[in-house]
Structure 1
């Protein structure tokens, strides 16, 4: 939920703390660590048991949720969101993983429906809760509410969750290795390379969004450094997969050699971009262009949010007894996203709310739900048993990575567009005021206000046009991973 809860509250937060032009960091700071540590948590759970690592990650998330709620500046909030994301990614990755170990294979389609439905429902609930609490200083409760809820969850896990699952690696590994030997399995260097890629790329786009030229010393060197980090990451993964016994690779090289695995990871990345850009920009559009409150904006986003879990549930049903191949489900989801994005990018920018956009939200939401369910259910069938933990975490991590980079790119496109075009209709001091705090829109009226709202509308349409490319790319990516295999639990029983 914390990946989306600030989407409707961010304007209220920045109106109080300032820094609207840096607001996307509230999302990307969380997503950076949420993305960068999933595979590390998965590997640690192989060594130290699932229960210990789930409780540890939940504890970190709880403590720094409280810290986020106590933030006095936007910089403090961004810093605490970094650490909150470390805990959040452990919870997210391991919760999906343990169900494959807790339930028999014949019930995996039901599991996929439940888990993807709950995850998607959380993404829907986030904007609603954020919108409801984002009046005055109440926005702090969108973080503080995590503390009592997670405290109860920690106690419940300590009491009810098995100390060790009979089939988890920490139990089945009978090699008698010491803790030091076990820790050697962690690919720390690979994690540093991956996190470096994420930080450099997202920071470069954020700097561009702040107005620095793409060729300036504040932007270009960051992008240039991404290249050696990417080369180093994949070179290192090849080495540790093919040449070394330790550490165990974050991304086994066999994933890169399998067209199905490679297609799954690429599709996860692409749909993550579509999901997160829509979650962030749809409610903000309703608030800035149509003048709605944060809660009203969250309600207006329900057609998108509700059909993400609805699409996941429908896809899981279709992959169950009807035995529709997951790749068919994924392809249909990609087409639905593409159609919805094309039409959503053409919404008029006047203050009137145009009702057809709700149908376009439904199409994108269904498409995202289809892909989420199809990709998760393919993991235990497309990947070897030894890769179940890393495969599940990889699919989740690449989806978050897509959202992280997607938000950064969308911000780097729309924020300079806003700044450039607002100067044509407003004095410089008002442009700076609007870019710092959107509540400055209340200082405007008449035709001037309509013109400014229209500029905001065009900036959001620009973001959706960017999304069109990612939705379209899912079609050839699905062709890359094409297999007519249906879900057949018998072979995994």
Structure 2
């Protein structure tokens, strides 16, 4: 009996022994290297285009609407897929998922570089957003796996630093490549980084195997969520350009979107494994973080995207110079995220930095709203530095605050949900503010050209809706174009300012919870150990009854 029981119990003891092993600091840093390299790939895939996109749209004969859609297409699919990736992270192998996301990102980026027209470019950028959604969700989920909330502040600062490096290096690299080779090469530079990230992750990221459970994926909820969000963003994008805000097309698209999103809520309340668990919305911190994330997404993404147009079309700078001129904003993000992260790790207090970030970001957006096509670059750089500092203190710490209050089994879904709403806000912001900019710039151009007695068709292409090539314009026309884009872009920052104030007010009502000391792996190990402690006596009793039955049967056979 003892032999049999010991043999059967051995796997349980091995399970306890394996899962009690935790990662050393060296192992954490090694695993983190692959995760950060993956994030660098995601950031570079976007940032290299920031300085070259005006040139790309001009070469492909696109319009201001095309410019917006190249960005919106990626944000749309990123938004839709982020919660799906996050839920998959709670169900299947996370290392395999992030490697898959990397592969999708880099292959689609390379194919985008071969595009012959704006339609092809937008299509491949949409596919690229699927991979970006995975990287967005999985990087922070994996960090939660291997690092405790108390220590996570320091490493979140490191993540912010890597993102800052990509955001600084990307525009510079993209500008140099565009000016010296061709904008197409910008889509290929992620290949070596992605391959390196996949190899490093395979060699260094060793997550303990969780107990295998039946995987149930909410396909219907994923479908209704995806189509509902897509219709909402399409409506925001095309309203006032292809059809009026108040029209049957608007009513149809908005009504269908609301119906599908309402259906999603019902489905999520009735399935075993929802994409976005509705119970998360009973968590005060989660709800406030979602509101703040939407506001930050609209205010930040919706304005930052158009900085390259300000630099190149309002100030006449080259893509390389445009990249150099955006460095102050990235320096602000890097310094504030790194320094605040270290202090958070030392003190365990994070709300004060989020409040400071909200104040500084609001001030930065307001100051950026004062620029025009003659503003000194010294002032523009100072305002961008302030804006970046606010973003660095606020954005990553919203994720930290949510992760610190969630059950470890919901880290994937909760983290990706915050990223989902932030990206959704960004997508809406880019669509709405892009439409505002297009309408405003077109009006200013027509008015300015009429004032100097020139027909707007003199800009070429499709008239005032096309992005002009400043190098080919006569001096009076160029002055009109620069003034139109300078005034138009500055108004976008003014629109973003009250949204940043909303984020600040939301953070004010956040309840600060002491940061935990255990990583996600350690918390899951503890849950599994508790389950084993409950199951072990039951297993032993069952084995004892089985052995007793075998003994009685053997005795009866001997008696006969």
- TM-score, normalization: structure 2? 0.79
Deviation at 1:10, TM superposition (A): 0.8
Aligned to 2:227: 196
Contact residue 349 and residue 458 of structure 1 kept, 8 A: yes
- Bigger mean CA offset, 78-87 vs 200-209: 200-209
8 Å contact kept, 1:8–1:297:
yes
1:447 CA displacement: 3.8
Tell me the residue number matched to 1:55. 99
Larger Cα-atom Rg: 2
Equivalent in the alignment of 1:147: 191
Is the counterpart of residue 187 in structure 1 residue 218 in structure 2?
yes
User: 1:418, CA displacement in angstroms?
Assistant: 1.4
1:391-419 superposed Cα distances (whole Å, 9 cap, x missing partner): 12122222222211111111111101112
Q: Deviations over 1:404-437 (max 9, x none)?
A: 1111111111101112222223313135636465
Alpha-carbon distance between aligned partners in 2 of 1:404 and 1:186, rounded to the nearest angstrom: 26
The residue aligned with 1:172 is 210
Structure 2 match to 1:23 = 67
Match of 1:360 in 2: 383
Are the structure 2 counterparts of residues 391 and 440 from structure 1 closer, same or farther at C-alpha, using a change threshold of 3 Å? same
For residue 425 of structure 1, what is the aligned residue in structure 2?
A: 448
User: How many Å separate the matches in 1 of 2:121 and 2:398?
Assistant: 33
User: Contact 1:7 / 1:284 at 8 angstroms: preserved in 2?
Assistant: no
Query: What does residue 134 of structure 1 align with?
Result: 178
RMSD: 2.4
- Among candidates 425, 428, 442, match of residue 471 of structure 2: 442
Q: 1:292 aligns with which of 281, 297, 317?
A: 317
The 2-side partners of 1:382 and 1:67 are apart by 41
Taking a change above 3 Å as real, the CA distance of residues 174 and 68 of structure 1, as seen in their structure-2 partners, is: closer
* 1:331 and 2:331 matched: no
Q: Which runs of 5+ in 1 are unaligned?
A: none
- Whole-Å separation in 2 of the counterparts to 1:455 and 1:464: 15
> What is the distance in 2 between the residues matched to 1:18 and 1:213?
26
Match of 1:301 in 2: 326
SS in structure 2 of the partner of residue 94 of structure 1: helix
CA distance in structure 2 between the aligned counterparts of 1:257 and 1:86, rounded to whole angstroms: 29
From the superposition, tell whether residues 432 and 28 of structure 1 become closer, same or farther in structure 2 (CA, over 3 Å).
same
Answer yes or no: is 1:410 the counterpart of 2:439: no
- Contact 1:205–1:408 (CA<8 Å) still a contact in 2? yes
Asked if 1:342 is matched to 2:366, the reply is yes
Question: Aligned equivalents of 1:354 and 1:119: distance in 2?
Answer: 24
Instruction: Mark the runs of 5 or more structure 2 residues left unpaired by the alignment.
Output: 1-42, 450-454, 523-560
- TM (normalized to structure 1)? 0.89
> What is aligned with 2:46?
3
Deviations 1:191-227, CA, capped at 9 Å, x for gaps:
2233223322322232247464323555553334332
| Aligned partners of 2:456 and 2:464 also within 8 Å | no
The secondary structure found in structure 1 opposite 2:512 is coil
The CA distance in 2 between the partners of 1:447 and 1:138, in whole Å, is 29
Question: In the aligned structure 2, how far is the partner of 1:392 from the partner of 1:118?
Answer: 19
Partner of 1:283: 308
Q: Distance in 2 between matches of 1:218 and 1:428?
A: 30
Runs of 4+ residues deviating >6 angstroms: 490-493
- Aligned partners of 2:169 and 2:228: how far apart in 1? 31
Q: Does 1:457 align with 2:482?
A: no
Match of 1:473 among 490, 497, 502: 502
Aligned length: 471
Contact 2:358 2:500 in 1 (8 A): yes
Please give the alpha-carbon distance, in whole angstroms, between the structure 2 residues aligned to 1:396 and 1:70: 30
Contact 1:289–1:456, Cα closer than 8 Å, also in 2: yes
DSSP 3-state at the match of 1:47: coil
**What are the equivalent positions in structure 2 for 1:95-244 lying under 5 Å apart?**
95-135=139-179, 138-162=182-206, 165-166=207-208, 171-175=209-213, 177=214, 182=215, 185-208=216-239, 210=241, 212-216=243-247, 219=250, 221-237=252-268, 239-240=269-270, 244=271
Distance 1:116 1:190 in 2: 32
